[in-house]
Each structure stands twice: as structure tokens, then as C-alpha cells.
Amino acid sequence: MKNETIVTAAEMKAIERAANEAGLLYIQMMENAGRAAWKEMAARFPVPGTLLVVAGKGNNGGDGFVMARVAAKAGWQVCVWLAEGEPRTPDAITNRRLLAELPVTVLPAEERPAARGWSAAVDALYGTGFHGALRPAGRAACELLNQCREAGAFLLAVDLPSGVCADTGEAAEGAAPADLTVCFDSRKPAHEAPQAKAFCGEVLLADIGIPADCHRA
């Protein structure tokens, strides 16, 4: 169920941990999140187009891999850029491997894709895990996302736009503003913070199947 209260990044991790222990495994939550975000993206496009997924090395990137897989199966031309290299979390690695079975172009970090020619782009770089300043690779990824949006691509952020701190709403220099942010299970403070509104764009809350009991302290 969607939780109407606002939770911090640490509280969200505790909720996810409780859900995993209750039987909703992390990899299923990733699948549910990616599919929920893609549903919102697809609703804005009557026919398949071209999609760029900018993926980080953590679970936010894993959500992006799920989106890439579902989009490819729906007839989209999909490119995934591993902006910080290959994924490093188990569930993201699993979903990265599933792309090998599909006509999805996967580019390593050193092969930066073009900024033009995309119907839509996905910011799956950091999500709620970001704080502080953007690292060089993250800064370059956000720069590309900004250029894609300026060139006409619709930009969807997975959970939070990269460069925005989940708990404070503060945006680092170079952060990438989104047209739509799809957050999962619960809103984070940044989704309601005035200083983050220009970066989040429209904010939609998606249900990823976490039971109500998992929200209890």
C-alpha cells in the first residue's frame, strides 16, 4: 500500500527491510518499482519511441534496468548508459543481466550517448541515496540528462531527481530537473520541500506492494 506519511531515507530503508523480512523480497520491490514508474511514463506516449536510461551502480539503477526491460518488450528502442560503471548491488546486477536477452543497447561509462534523438529519458542514477555534492561521473550524467531535456526529451526521475537530497530537499550544483518524479510507497521530505519543487516537477506516489504493517515503528 502507499503510505501517506512522509518518511526519511533511513526510515524508508527500515520499511523495505521489514517488507523483505515479511516475504516481499527486495528484488520483487525493485520489479514493482520499475514497472510502476514505467506505467507512468508509457501513459504519456501513445506509441513507442526512443528511450535513454541513465543508470547508477546501485538499486536506483536497478529500477532503471527494469524500466528498460519493460520498455523494450513494449516496442521501444532502448539505450542504457551505465554512467558510473557496472552495477554493484545484487538485485541491480540480476536485472542488468536480463537486458542481455533483449534488443537493448547498453553503453559503458566511457561511451557517453548523444543528447538528442530521445523521446524520453530516465534518471535512475541515485534516488534517495544522494547527499552532498555530485561526483564527477554524477555531474556528467546530470549534464547529459539536462541536455536531453533541453533537446525535447521527457525526463522521468526514479524516486528523486539526481543531485537532490531526500531528507533536506537541497539540490547540489548541476542537479537534473525532471518533468515527472515517481516515488515509491512513501513520499520523502524532498518531495514536499519548496526548494526541490523546481527539480521534482510533477510528483506521483506509486504502490510497490509493501504491507501496511511494515510502516510501524
For the chain, what are the domain ranges? 3-210
- The Cβ of residue 17 has, within 10 Å, a number of other Cβ atoms equal to 12
- CA angle in degrees (0–180, nearest 5) for 146-150-151: 115
Whole-prediction pTM: 0.96
CA distance 130 to 141: 14
- CB-based burial of residue 166 (10 Å sphere; 0-12 exposed, 13-18 middle, 19+ buried)? buried
Nearest to 178 by CA among 195, 197, 156, 194: 156
pLDDT digit of tens for each residue in the chain (217 aa)? 566 789 999 999 999 999 999 999 999 999 999 999 999 999 999 999 999 999 999 999 999 999 999 999 999 999 999 999 999 999 999 999 999 999 999 999 999 999 999 999 999 999 898 888 999 999 999 999 999 999 999 999 999 999 999 999 999 999 999 999 999 999 999 999 999 999 999 999 999 999 999 997 5
- For residue 187, give the C-alpha cell: 513520499
CATH classification (class only), 3-210: alpha beta
